A and B are shown apart, each in its own frame.
Chain A
């Protein structure tokens, strides 16, 4: 008896949802407003955050976007000015200026996001899938009691998304059926900012966020000590047009210098496999793969990379893939557009010789 009642109730729910979907879809489109959590550096909004704006555009053409920037000091305000004219959909720039946000600690940032969402009632919240976004977004989502979607690569409806699972070996289309806001981190290599619409001149107003929600507690439980970064002249790995990668076949940190020379000539970023990082040839932030960076450059050249599932997850969307490996059966050749079976040092030497220096 109870079961029959449950079945009827279930059928009713399904019927309602089915019939109402189109109407609801229309209403949803009208009510879309998005908060983009942006990162900035040196007075500019980071390219990955501009990709988040492209994702906001993919949700709805007439999306009203509020862009949230936090930090402290003059660089923040310079970045806010950049943000204000970064995309025609940007309706307002929200600035949270406090020493609490000087470093990317999840605790105060999540409270900020929680507070801004409560006030703005956005239908969507987007951050880029950077280490910052991955650290912050789920924490803020739990405070709001909603489930976020990680690493969105395509948006087909305002609440229907595609995301890779199992290290990119399957693409899962999910429909978010929960309360607002619908929160997501986007894979920045899947959303390229529309440069045409960016050129339109529109300057959004800049508003200061009321920070009275900040409690003593929010900034006392964690503290930032330092950041050890690799000084590098190279373009950023995640956004480079060309990436040259070395695997275990490079054999030593010394040999990675050869890759750097090639990268210099090509204006490329240097990447590495987990094996090369674990062997200590290069620092771990150069790792490309499921657990490292996801890249999708125009040209990806892999030297001495076997092509494990976890590595392919990080580069399979590259436009052109070149593989150099002495093992003709290496799985990397199954995804490579051009392959050379041979000694990588020989090929590397010839490339260094034959490619002219970059002007």
Chain B
């Protein structure tokens, strides 16, 4: 079985982003970019399933501008076998929406016939948490979102997924093929070693356009403006617990 993993290039999670003065977007020029952390976990999980014998091949895919190829190289250096780069230059006023990405991934899934597609549960830039669910719907496959544990039964063609839900941990069982999205606690992604980074340079990244996949990248969302969140007024440092209790009771009135 093949596993298709979707990865996204985003502003590095440790960067404190700034809103552009013209309020059209967040400033991403000359900011460190990395693979979305949830996507790293997705790649790692796919590699572990391959190493455990549950899968034969791991294909990484991304939709994005030319620079997004770096993110695919990272996935290849971690151990993915090959990659597909769907070239798309987004218009900042008309963001690339999860539905369009899901349609692209659906087209790739129909070409590659994977037994499993693994995605991150959300991208840390748009914080949408939609693409995996939408892909599952478009393929009419079952979905296991926010996965913290995945067990594949190859003979029965089933996946058992533990999910992080509001009340605790839920376990569900899915028929393969299925779509899984990763939560933070699914695994600890590996670092790419230098020899593997070198090896990744010779691995194949196939480039395609959405048009070649017959996907119309439509955006039904217009960014009106982007603002800084309201600043909180400066607080005070207190010297004792008594003072704190007094302030909470008599100034803030919350006790």
Query: In this complex, what residue of A is CB-closest to B247?
Result: A338
- In residues 54-110 of chain A, which contact B (Cβ within 8 Å)? 104-107, 110
Cα A347 to Cα B243 in complex, Å, equals 12
Does any Cβ of B come within 8 Å of A169's Cβ? yes
Query: In this complex, what residue of B is CB-closest to A223?
Result: B173
Does any Cβ of A come within 8 Å of B194's Cβ? no
Contact of B172 (CB < 8 Å), options: A224, A229, A277, A338: A224
Q: Are B172 and A223 within 8 A (Cβ)?
A: yes
Does any Cβ of B come within 8 Å of A261's Cβ? no
Cα A215 to Cα B82 in complex, Å, equals 38
Q: Are B145 and A135 within 8 A (Cβ)?
A: yes
Contact of A284 (CB < 8 Å), options: B128, B164, B255: B164
- In residues 1-44 of chain B, which contact A (Cβ within 8 Å)? 11, 13-14, 16-17, 19, 26
Query: In this complex, what residue of B is CB-closest to A151?
Result: B127
Binary B-proximity of A292-326 (CB < 8 A = 1, otherwise 0): 01000011000000000110000010011110000
Cα A131 to Cα B255 in complex, Å, equals 31
Contact of A164 (CB < 8 Å), options: B183, B229, B248: B229
- Which size class do B's interface residues fall under? 35 or more
B residues near A25, Cβ cutoff 8 Å: none
Query: In this complex, what residue of B is CB-closest to A313?
Result: B127
Q: Are A290 and B127 within 8 A (Cβ)?
A: yes
Q: Are A333 and B245 within 8 A (Cβ)?
A: no
A residues near B222, Cβ cutoff 8 Å: 174-175, 177
Does any Cβ of A come within 8 Å of B202's Cβ? no
- In residues 204-255 of chain A, which contact B (Cβ within 8 Å)? 220-230, 238, 242
Does any Cβ of A come within 8 Å of B102's Cβ? yes
Does any Cβ of A come within 8 Å of B148's Cβ? yes
Q: Are A299 and B241 within 8 A (Cβ)?
A: no
**Which of the candidate stretches A29-37, A119-127, A139-147, A191-199 sits at the interface with the other chain?**
A139-147
Q: Are B170 and A309 within 8 A (Cβ)?
A: no
Q: Are B143 and A227 within 8 A (Cβ)?
A: no
Binary A-proximity of B170-181 (CB < 8 A = 1, otherwise 0): 111111001000
Q: Are A139 and B244 within 8 A (Cβ)?
A: no
B residues near A171, Cβ cutoff 8 Å: 226-229
B residues near A259, Cβ cutoff 8 Å: none
B residues near A105, Cβ cutoff 8 Å: 172
Give the shortest distance, in Å, between A7 (CB) and chain B (any CB): 16
A residues near B13, Cβ cutoff 8 Å: 309-310
Contact count A vs B, C-beta below 8 Å: 249
Cα A138 to Cα B238 in complex, Å, equals 46
Does any Cβ of A come within 8 Å of B134's Cβ? yes
Contact of B171 (CB < 8 Å), options: A146, A225, A283, A347: A225
Cα A306 to Cα B39 in complex, Å, equals 26
- Which size class do A's interface residues fall under? 35 or more
Does any Cβ of A come within 8 Å of B52's Cβ? no
Query: In this complex, what residue of B is CB-closest to A46?
Result: B166
Give the shortest distance, in Å, between B12 (CB) and chain A (any CB): 11
Give the shortest distance, in Å, between B224 (CB) and chain A (any CB): 4
B residues near A142, Cβ cutoff 8 Å: 99, 102, 133-135, 137-138
Does any Cβ of B come within 8 Å of A28's Cβ? no
Query: In this complex, what residue of B is CB-closest to A169?
Result: B17
Give the shortest distance, in Å, between A346 (CB) and chain B (any CB): 8
Given A171-B229, A298-B254, A337-B235: A224 and B170 interface contact (C-beta under 8 Å):
yes
Cα A93 to Cα B148 in complex, Å, equals 35
Q: Are A319 and B164 within 8 A (Cβ)?
A: no
Does any Cβ of B come within 8 Å of A341's Cβ? yes
Does any Cβ of A come within 8 Å of B237's Cβ? yes
Does any Cβ of A come within 8 Å of B110's Cβ? no
Q: Are B183 and A229 within 8 A (Cβ)?
A: no
Q: Are A140 and B229 within 8 A (Cβ)?
A: no
Does any Cβ of B come within 8 Å of A336's Cβ? yes
B residues near A320, Cβ cutoff 8 Å: 248, 252, 254
B residues near A104, Cβ cutoff 8 Å: 165
Give the shortest distance, in Å, between B235 (CB) and chain A (any CB): 4
Q: Are A316 and B136 within 8 A (Cβ)?
A: no
Give the shortest distance, in Å, between B251 (CB) and chain A (any CB): 9
Give the shortest distance, in Å, between B127 (CB) and chain A (any CB): 6
- Supply 5 further A-B pairs (C-beta < 8 A) apart from A135-B143, A309-B13, A340-B241: A163-B127, A166-B17, A171-B229, A266-B255, A334-B232
- A residues with a Cβ closer than 8 A to B are 104-107, 110, 130-132, 134-143, 145-151, 160, 163-179, 220-230, 238, 242, 266, 274, 277-278, 283-285, 290-291, 293, 298-299, 309-310, 316, 319-322, 328, 333-341, 347, 350-351, 354-355
10 contacts between A and B (CB under 8 A): A135-B145, A138-B137, A141-B134, A167-B124, A169-B16, A177-B222, A278-B185, A284-B148, A285-B168, A350-B241
